[in-house]
Chains A and B, each alone.
Chain A
């Protein structure tokens, strides 16, 4: 009896330890960013493009990278969504449960998920060369869309899988086509899961540096031109950290702080949004 109790305590201890390691790491990262970034943080950081002195600017801010990251990740998320939603619906409505085709598709997507983002960058780069494009917003959007595509599908898939089979049967029994079931029933029931998947993919896309390194390039001005290079926050952080000047390095932490805040704001907004959309969901 005592041994069983000790076992129980031991594993409970392990769980708490694991949680603490993760929680403290997260806390340390946040504290580090805030402590080092806050001194360099000012209104100009988020309202101006870089200017004056040093490489990447001594004055001004990183508005070019903020705007660039939002447009790039936003564009990539829209493109990935247009491809991911049909695939997720195909897996869950058009294919039968346990079909071998579905298993194969899911396996392929998991492999794609594991491919390092620099590989997507390199792959995007070859595609760009093939079409004669140079480093540009468009190139970055394509590379990031490829990167987040498998993540988005698998996240949607995991939530759509939870939809009870009876809901499908009921909808079929009323004489629905598979398209009607997909769009009128499954998308409604799974809306919060779909939104979460979009958010996860967007967060992954906006934070990734390697995939945009060759494909999007960098610029020190704000640009929405699809065929011109565009600045992104992860690369701004990467370049700023790489300089020997302490002033510029502290700006890297301020940029990290901005990127983190963007992701937190989007997460919270999505949570609130999904709550609203759960109104009709069948539990």
Chain B
């Protein structure tokens, strides 16, 4: 690949207590492309994703070694400013998880904690990002209502807007459509494809067809090991490893 690397993983090992969740992962994640992480459940996809924004720190008894370089900065360094790392990464989780506040305040939450105070500026940020995820028309008249009043699909788009409002460089999606109906899933996928010109996107999914629709670059994980990675066309059409081929054919899942 000729494009630039955005996240550079070097010899990453992650342990939960005695159990090793990720084994010696080394991979470059390209900038402004959609990278899809595939593999069976419990193979470490989410762990890899959550080590990018250090959410794995929240798990008791977690240990990791290796390096993850983002903009030439090792984010696994214990001295790193965590809030700054996380500000760089917008997370879209499996189930939409709005904050216990109004629709407006959900989107304004990030900008507010990062120092934007002016009402006018916040108003335009909220409007811009709600439009960016295609939710504006639906909620324009009820911005003050609790976010919990929205449908699940709308909530997920709200969470998307909330993540974008902190102006991340990278979007992390942890099976972001698994709780959604087909229409809502489609809208989220379309947004990913639209936004890849502006952001580096990493998506975890166990839906192979979704991976094929989205991916520019693919990582195949199997029980903590990175079996194969490469451009989407190569992985899907001409995988080099036996395991990958079997997974693609649905022999293992």
Contact = CB atoms under 8 A, between A and B. Distances in A.
Interface residues of B, number: 32
Interface string B106-147: 000110011000000000000000000000000000000011
B60 A175 contact: no
B207 interface: no
Contacts of A189: 100
Contact of B55 (A173, A177, A282): A173
Interface string A270-283: 00000000011111
A110 to B, nearest CB: 21
Interface string B147-191: 110000000000100110010000010000000000000000000
Contacts of B86: 172-175
Interface residues of A, number: 28
Contacts of B59: 96
A215 B89 CA distance: 56
A93 B241 CA distance: 44
B6 interface: no
B163 A173 contact: yes
A281 B93 CA distance: 19
Contact of A174 (B95, B113, B146): B113
A281 B100 contact: yes
B113 A164 contact: no
A224 to B, nearest CB: 38
B99 to A, nearest CB: 6
A98 B83 CA distance: 24
Contacts of B100: 167, 185, 188-189, 280-282
Nearest to A185: B99
B84 interface: yes
Nearest to A191: B100
Contacts of B172: 173
A179 to B, nearest CB: 10
Which label, helix, strand, loop or mixed, suits the secondary structure of the B interface? mixed
A175 B97 CA distance: 15
Contacts of A168: 58
A158 interface: no
Interface in A21-80: none
B109 A167 contact: no
Interface string A242-283: 000000000000000000000000000000000000011111
A166 interface: yes
B113 A176 contact: yes
Contact of A177 (B83, B110, B146): B83
A170 interface: yes
Nearest to A170: B97
A225 interface: no
B84 A175 contact: yes
B98 interface: yes
A247 B102 CA distance: 58
25 contacts: A96-B60, A97-B60, A99-B60, A167-B99, A167-B100, A169-B55, A169-B91, A169-B93, A170-B97, A173-B172, A174-B163, A175-B83, A175-B84, A175-B113, A175-B114, A176-B83, A177-B113, A180-B113, A185-B99, A185-B100, A189-B100, A280-B100, A280-B101, A280-B102, A280-B146
Given A166-B97, A167-B99, A170-B99, 10 more contacts: A166-B95, A171-B99, A173-B172, A175-B83, A175-B84, A176-B113, A184-B109, A185-B99, A188-B99, A189-B100
Interface of B: 53, 55, 58-60, 83-84, 86-87, 89-91, 93, 95, 97-102, 109-110, 113-114, 146-148, 159, 162-163, 166, 172
